[in-house]
């Protein structure tokens, strides 16, 4: 695990976006795993900016999103389909037919989960998975006590996740209680992982993710098992790490060699 600590959230965002763009330039038809949430919004803004500056084309990439709320149709304003269209897909040359997000409104969500896992495999697996992390350590919607080898399936949102995500809904009662999410096992199959966490409210999850123990209590701690995981942090998210001097000595200013 490479722990990359930046002075500011802006610097962490720029670094992770540059890393993703580098990967697309190196392999234009790469398979990217994508995430939603407030933390990745500026990452997508930075990726769009690179596209606007004609530094990269996303026309050949294939994408798979982590998750979707059960019950929301793709055109629902709070769906992750809508989020992706608004923040990334609709602003670049990504071809709609090259994007996949689980269908939350599928007649049989359990079947949809199986179909989604199979579709990822059929495309040869994910080259690089972008992640955020929940305050409770969740990745995707894999809440605490999720199986560390889980595949795409239905998961019930933890009460703290319902509360955190209610900021996007009119009323807390409107937040769906179920999701279809890649499993932790699905995420660990990605060949590379890049995760971003910014702000004080993520510092406990970041501590548990990086310094352990490895436990289903903190799903993100499963990334300790991954051979190519890079964790992009700002100073606030890194504030509880006990080995910070070590991480900063290995990667001064969050710099990582290619
Ligand atoms: C959401 C998503 C996660 C995301 C997390 C953090 O519920 N399912 O993929 O990483 O919560 O979101 P935020 O960046 O808004 O804190």
Query: What's the mean pLDDT in 23-40?
Result: 98
250 Cα to the center of ligand 1, angstroms: 28
Helix and strand numbers, DSSP H then E, in the chain: 8, 10
Residue pair 232/195 in contact (Cβ under 8 Å)? The answer is yes
Domains held by the chain: number: 1
Reported as a pLDDT band with limits 50, 70 and 90, residue 258 is low
**What is the rounded average pLDDT for all residues in the chain?**
97
Output the pLDDT for position 257: 77
pLDDT in tens, 83-102: 999 999 999 999 999 999 99
Active-site residue, 138 included: yes
| Secondary structure element (H or E) that encloses residue 129, with its range | strand 128-131
CATH number of the domain to which 76 belongs: 3.40.50.1360
Over the stretch 170-182, which tens digit does the pLDDT of each residue have? 999 999 999 999 9
The pair of three-digit structure tokens given for residue 173, joined into one six-digit string: 């009662």
Active-site option among 65, 67, 127, 234: 67
Q: Is-catalytic flag, 67?
A: yes
Reply yes or no on whether 18 is catalytic: no
Known catalytic residue at 136: yes
Nearest alpha carbon to residue 20 among 77, 76, 58:
58
Structure confidence by residue, pLDDT tens digits, 185-202 = 999 999 999 999 999 999
Domain containing 26: what range? 2-254
Q: How far is the CA of 20 from the centre of ligand 1 (A)?
A: 19
What pLDDT shows up at residue 171? Answer: 96
6, 138, 165, 234: the active-site residue:
138
37 alpha carbon to ligand 1 midpoint, in Å? 4
Whether 110 has a pLDDT exceeding 90, the answer reads yes
Give the distance from CA 19 to its chain's centroid: 14
Using CB distances shorter than 6 Å, the residues near ligand 1 are: 35-39, 66-67, 132-134, 140-141, 161, 165
Active-site residue (options: 136, 208, 226, 230) = 136
């Amino acid at each position: 695990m490479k722990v990359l600590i930046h002075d500011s959230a802006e610097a962490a965002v720029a670094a992770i976006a540059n890393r993703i763009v580098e990967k697309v330039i190196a392999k234009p038809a790469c398979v990217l795993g994508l995430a939603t949430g407030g933390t990745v919004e500026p990452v997508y803004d930075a990726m769009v900016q690179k596209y606007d500056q004609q530094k990269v084309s996303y026309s050949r990439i294939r994408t798979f999103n982590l998750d979707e709320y059960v019950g929301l149709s793709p055109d629902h304003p709070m769906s992750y389909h809508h989020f992706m269209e608004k923040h990334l897909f609709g602003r670049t040359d990504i071809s709609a037919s090259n994007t996949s997000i689980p269908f939350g409104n599928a007649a049989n969500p359990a079947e949809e989960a199986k179909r989604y896992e199979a579709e990822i495999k059929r495309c040869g697996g994910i080259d690089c998975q972008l992640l955020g992390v929940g305050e409770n350590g969740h990745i995707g919607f894999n809440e605490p006590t999720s199986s560390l080898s889980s595949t795409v399936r239905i998961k019930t949102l933890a009460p703290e996740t319902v509360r955190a995500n209610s900021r996007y809904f009119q009323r807390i009662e409107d937040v769906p209680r179920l999701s279809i999410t890649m499993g932790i096992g699905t995420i660990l199959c990605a060949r590379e992982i890049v995760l971003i966490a910014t702000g004080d409210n993520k510092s406990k999850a970041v501590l548990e993710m990086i310094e352990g123990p490895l436990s289903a209590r903190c799903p993100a701690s499963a990334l300790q098992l991954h051979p190519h995981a890079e964790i992009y942090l700002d100073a606030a998210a890194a504030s509880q790490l006990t080995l910070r001097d070590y991480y900063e000595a290995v990667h001064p200013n969050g710099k990582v060699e290619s």
